[in-house]
Chain A
Amino acid sequence: MPANLLLIAPLLLHLVGAIACVFLWRFVRLQTVVVAIVQITFVGISSLMLQQVLTQGIQVTQIGNWHAPFGITLVADIIAALLLLTTSIAGLAVFMFAHVALDITRKRFGYFPLFLLLQMGVSGVCLTGDIFNLYVWFEVLLICCFALIALGTRKTQMEGALKYVTINFIASGLLLTGIGVMYALYGALNLARIAEIVRDTHENAHLLVLPGIFFLIGFGIKSAIFPLFFWLPASYHTPPIGISAFIAGVISKIGVYTLLRLYTLIFSAEIGFAQPLLLVLAGLTMAVGVIGAAAQVDFRKILSFHIISQIGYMLMGLAIYTPLAVAGSIFFVIHNMLVKTNLFLVSGVVAHRHHSFSLSRLGGAYLRHPFLSIMFLLSALSLAGLPPLSGFWGKLMLAKGGLEAGNYILVGTSLGVSLVTLLSMTKIWNEVFWKPRSTRLKMALKETTSTYASYFPVVFLLVFILALGFYAEPVIKLSLQSSEQLMHSENYIDAVLKSNTIPVEPPSSP
């Protein structure tokens, strides 16, 4: 497929799907069909993109044929394609779950179009090669998140949405300020062009730290790193699982992706400043997240706090900044997107049956649903990083990279945090699945005996998680390749700026 069509396809696909859904507003069944088609096509397109990026190198297209430093560029390299593929798989699973378990009222009031536009935002963030365009895509993504979190307007949801909107509005403002500073200093918005300028001896090259801090804080808030994470556990658990699984599983990692992209491409010229800061932040993010989780008694809140601690692992690879460690980060992002989505879906299945997320009200699920329990156990152990499940390989790469670089304290912290993660997962296992259900509750709450259809998305994701664990080598190789590509940013710069060789027809003079 030609690059210009391939890169625009994920954006157009979701946009057209969302518009179709809006036109079919009253016909929820037809909307479901549209979303199903879009999701399956999205998986196909993103695998095609990955395959093409691997065989033909970085794919670039200039929108409207405005050449690179001036127009908007769309770029797909390996990490972007990998992320899109993972997003599409997680999106498909969440869609299947929402189809079964989400209430009809939310579906009637625009769940499907918002869900598609959200994925359009994710695709845009992954593919764009222009820093202002990145901000715009982030806003597209965020406004859909706002609407999805508030959809249904239950009291808790509105409380969560208010916190989410306020803090993310401030983060976006800081990003915009950073973009302003960046443009004022270097006079460019194209990522590749900025990267080229800061590598040259530009008169403002030593001021790179200034926009770097703006971006670190802006994306730090969006991806919930250490001192800026308080909004996440306050809002992610409030909407129903059909919404929060996707937001928790995918959206929180998009911030990490942008940090990976910007800090390898642009701010790597000044990595001496950012590295010690990132090392400390990564360690603290891990530790604080996991300690916060220990204090919680709600299924979803425990999982929300674990998101924070896993963001720490992803940051760790970037902070160590060796090819192996960055590859570990990339692998970890992919693994975590799948596993976290799956854990949220399991909590949704349990709550669908027992009408509660509270650990004290649940119990005895193992006796009732042994199959579901095994699926939870596999995902949870994978999150904690037990070999040979997928989390292990990510942590192995990160730890190896850290030890080679001599960051013993950070590696020690990360291993300790894994242990506490395991403890936390055991807590959920004990409370929800293992302990007998108190008889008082048994009488009070009658159990819905719904179909097994809501198991299907969980099994679907688990297949990928197990494949990622038992057959990790191809993905590890891809992550290594991808981190090589990120570390050698001259390839990216060349691909974007030298792609102007498309022959422009001179205006035929009469």
Chain B
Amino acid sequence: MEILLPFLTGILFSVSMYFIIHRHLFKLILGLILFGLATNLFLFVVGGMKRGGIAIISQGNDVPVEPYADPVPQALLLTAIVIGFGIQAFSIVLIKRVYQAFKSNNMDKLNNNEKI
């Protein structure tokens, strides 16, 4: 199972990049969400996965019982998920406003709107 996760991360990264460069507003939303997921999954996988106990130190001990997973990447992950969620929410609203203003899904039509 663990061997699949790096491949999954790679696939998520490539799919998200494909969506982002596709110049379509809805695919941009999908791309951004998948990119956020890919980075989060990467952070989780690279932090090392272990089956077994949790890193809570039981009373009377100085260290938790081996084997336990490193809690730091998980803490980072939680923070990153929250931040990513906020930014994704903002970008979805922004993209919706862009769609309403330009009446188009095609990002090529967004260019050269400036009157000089």
Chain A residues with CB under 8 Å of chain B are 132, 136, 139, 142-143, 146-147, 150, 153, 155-156, 158-159, 161-162, 165-166, 169-170, 172-174, 176-177, 179-181, 183-184, 189, 297-298, 358, 360
- B contact residues around A298 at 8 Å (CB): 114, 116
Pairs A-B, 6 closest by C-beta atoms: A180-B43, A173-B39, A184-B46, A180-B46, A358-B116, A139-B83
A-B contact pairs, 18 of them (CB 8 A): A132-B79, A142-B87, A146-B91, A147-B90, A155-B113, A158-B94, A158-B97, A159-B113, A162-B94, A162-B110, A165-B87, A166-B28, A169-B91, A170-B35, A177-B39, A180-B43, A183-B76, A358-B116
Task: Give the contacts of B5-64 with A (CB-CB under 8 A).
Answer: 20, 28, 32, 35-36, 38-39, 42-43, 46-48
A162 & B43 in contact (Cβ 8 Å cutoff): no
- A contact residues around B69 at 8 Å (CB): none
Taking A155-B101, A297-B116 as contacts, is the C-beta distance between A165 and B94 under 8 angstroms?
yes
Task: Give the contacts of B90-115 with A (CB-CB under 8 A).
Answer: 90-91, 94-95, 97-98, 101-102, 107, 110-111, 113-114
From residue B74, how far is it (CB to closest CB) to chain A in Å? 11
From residue A338, how far is it (CB to closest CB) to chain B in Å? 28
From residue A183, how far is it (CB to closest CB) to chain B in Å? 6
From residue A66, how far is it (CB to closest CB) to chain B in Å? 13
A176 & B43 in contact (Cβ 8 Å cutoff): yes
Cα–Cα distance between A298 and B47 once the two chains are bound (Å): 48
Interface range on chain B (Cβ under 8 Å from partner): 20 to 34
Closest to B72 in A: A183
B79 & A136 in contact (Cβ 8 Å cutoff): yes
Cα–Cα distance between A143 and B107 once the two chains are bound (Å): 22
Cα–Cα distance between A181 and B42 once the two chains are bound (Å): 9
Closest to B102 in A: A155
B73 & A143 in contact (Cβ 8 Å cutoff): no
Q: Which of A150, A161, A173 has the most CB of B within 10 A?
A: A173
- B contact residues around A143 at 8 Å (CB): 86-87, 90
Cα–Cα distance between A143 and B93 once the two chains are bound (Å): 13
- A contact residues around B97 at 8 Å (CB): 150, 153, 158
B87 & A139 in contact (Cβ 8 Å cutoff): yes
- B contact residues around A180 at 8 Å (CB): 39, 42-43, 46-47, 73, 76
From residue A137, how far is it (CB to closest CB) to chain B in Å? 11
From residue B11, how far is it (CB to closest CB) to chain A in Å? 15
- B contact residues around A136 at 8 Å (CB): 79, 83
A166 & B32 in contact (Cβ 8 Å cutoff): yes
A184 & B48 in contact (Cβ 8 Å cutoff): yes
From residue B83, how far is it (CB to closest CB) to chain A in Å? 5
- A contact residues around B94 at 8 Å (CB): 146, 150, 158, 161-162, 165
Within 8 Å by CB of B20, from A150, A170, A177, A184, lies A170
Cα–Cα distance between A501 and B91 once the two chains are bound (Å): 46
- B contact residues around A297 at 8 Å (CB): 116
A176 & B20 in contact (Cβ 8 Å cutoff): no
Taking A169-B32, A169-B91 as contacts, is the C-beta distance between A132 and B76 under 8 angstroms?
yes
- A contact residues around B20 at 8 Å (CB): 166, 170
Within 8 Å by CB of A146, from B83, B90, B102, B111, lies B90
Cα–Cα distance between A132 and B47 once the two chains are bound (Å): 14
With A158-B101, A161-B94, A184-B47 given, name 10 new contacts (CB 8 A): A142-B87, A158-B97, A165-B87, A165-B91, A165-B94, A166-B20, A169-B32, A173-B38, A174-B39, A180-B46
A183 & B36 in contact (Cβ 8 Å cutoff): no
Cα–Cα distance between A436 and B114 once the two chains are bound (Å): 25
From residue B108, how far is it (CB to closest CB) to chain A in Å? 12
- A contact residues around B111 at 8 Å (CB): 159
